[in-house]
Structure 1
């Protein structure tokens, strides 16, 4: 597991869910999508410690626990870390049983609830709700985009290095060819979100489930495939 530089102060760590990292001038960091709980967050903590980086912020792009599940482990280690998400994502992150209820269309059950709790074993609280627009963190500006479709609370984050983190708005080509149909909460909103990307000024894109980051030109091809 390595910290891979994309551009400027923007990095990512490859995995089942790719984790973004922005390094501030004071050697503190923002993480985007920490991933599942378990061994991975411990490995990320080791990477940060080796570089004397202190984690201060976590942004969750949406309310699926393969993206936010590790928040509780990071919070245990970094007591003052600030955890951020959209309002809609906050509802599901803080109440895990809601996810199994809405995908089942009725009352949840012990099997589903226990599976979800095992993947995010401790309660997670969102400290700050973020909305679309400019987000100022530690004297740096990020831009947040509503990318509804995959989930109601999905967002994207653009760093000042023009690197766009899109969560699960898109998946890598290898995953796109593997599955007949993607998990979509709202297809109409998904298409709108895909069309928004073309008007965003970015140079590189990080897709949460992909083997590599891609350029803006490369993104057009995969957006068309998703459509």
Structure 2
């Protein structure tokens, strides 16, 4: 774990729970794509930098989930590097309590204020084209989170952040976290058409061919949507539906899974309602969901 793996002349990734990208800007300066899930991840990155005699000039965050920005504060304090994040992700990175608050839908209890859902604050600027090194491109990847982006490096390596998961992860957890189902599916359809020397997803193996895995992710979304529709053949309130999904998919409920899967299921309900496939009715002061 935290092995530095070279995939092209200038581009590397760091093998970790959420893969980080590292790109050489010249003989001595590098930038990171994401920073890992906590201070300890930052320390391990710092050791890699020191071992190679590299100076970190900037961190480019793909999005603001805690496992991608957790090393920001430590690395910035150690190196003085700049940090950039796109759109709304910049606000969440500046104010990390927004992530558990968003997931919970209110002031989050202490059970949700931990490093897996709430990173430390860091001094971050909103990403623009002017902040990118020469030859870098951003690739909009909305859906998983608000304004998530990927990056194409000058030597044609594409870092795909969290826009898709490995088959093993999907088969184990079934319902992957998604903020906007419609945008997520559109992003995956776009990713299927991309060409690159190599693709590096944060939660799947690096690969030269990504279309098949993107389709597997699409199929899983459609399967979950179909299961929700079938479950709502009779009126169900949200809590009863969530319980049924956890039971049917053999998932284990805890506070973290309650908010991650729960938020995702709410996103499915919004998408299906807007598509005219679900109705939402209020009865006896309960919001009930039923297949249209």
2:141 is matched with 147
Cα distance change of structure 1 residues 134 and 204 upon mapping to structure 2, 3 Å threshold:
farther
Aligned length: 217
Match of 1:200 among 183, 188, 194: 194
1:223 is aligned to 2:224: no
Matching residue of 1:74 = 75
Q: Deviations over 1:201-223 (max 9, x none)?
A: 3121111112x3111x2x11101
Q: CA deviation at 1:108?
A: 2.5
TM-score (ref. length: structure 2): 0.70
Question: Following the alignment from structure 1 to structure 2, what is the Cα–Cα distance between the partners of residues 172 and 135?
Answer: 31
Is the Cα–Cα contact under 8 Å of residues 38 and 70 in structure 2 kept in the other structure?
yes
Task: Give 1 or 2 for the bigger CA radius of gyration.
Answer: 2
Distance in 1 between residues matched to 2:60 and 2:168, nearest whole Å: 26
Partner of 2:95: 95
Q: Which has the higher contact order (CA 8 A, sep 6+)?
A: 1
Correspondence for 2:207: 214
Instruction: Give CA-to-partner distance per residue, 1:21-46, whole Å, 9 cap, x none.
Output: 00112321010111112322212111
- For the residue of structure 2 that corresponds to 1:166, the secondary structure is strand
Counterpart check, 1:45 vs 2:46: yes
User: Aligned in 2, Cα 1:118/1:164: closer, same or farther, shift over 3 Å?
Assistant: closer
CA RMSD, Structure 1 to Structure 2 (Å): 1.9
- Unpaired runs of 5+ residues, structure 2, are 219-292
Gaps of 5+ in 1: none
Decide whether aligned partners of structure 1 residues 63 and 125 sit closer, same or farther in structure 2, where only a CA change above 3 A counts: same
**Matches of 1:52 and 1:116 in 2, distance apart?**
29
TM-score under structure 1 length normalisation = 0.89
8 Å CA contact 1:135–1:144 kept in 2: the answer is no
User: 1 CA distance for matches of 2:118 and 2:100?
Assistant: 13
More helix by share: 2
Cα offset, 1:135, TM superposition:
6.0
* Deviation readout 1:123-161 (Å, 9 max, x if unpaired): 21213x225x68641xx2111011110000211101111
After superposition, give the CA deviation of every residue in 1:178-198 in whole Å (9 maximum; x if it has no partner): 111110000000011111223
SS where residue 136 of structure 2 aligns?
Answer: strand
Aligned partners of 1:185, 1:119: CA distance in 2, in Å?
A: 17
- Equivalences for 1:20-59 in 2 at 5 Å? 20-59=21-60
Within 1, Cα distance between the matches of 2:88 and 2:167?
A: 28
Match for residue 106 of structure 1?
106
Aligned equivalent of 2:171 = 177
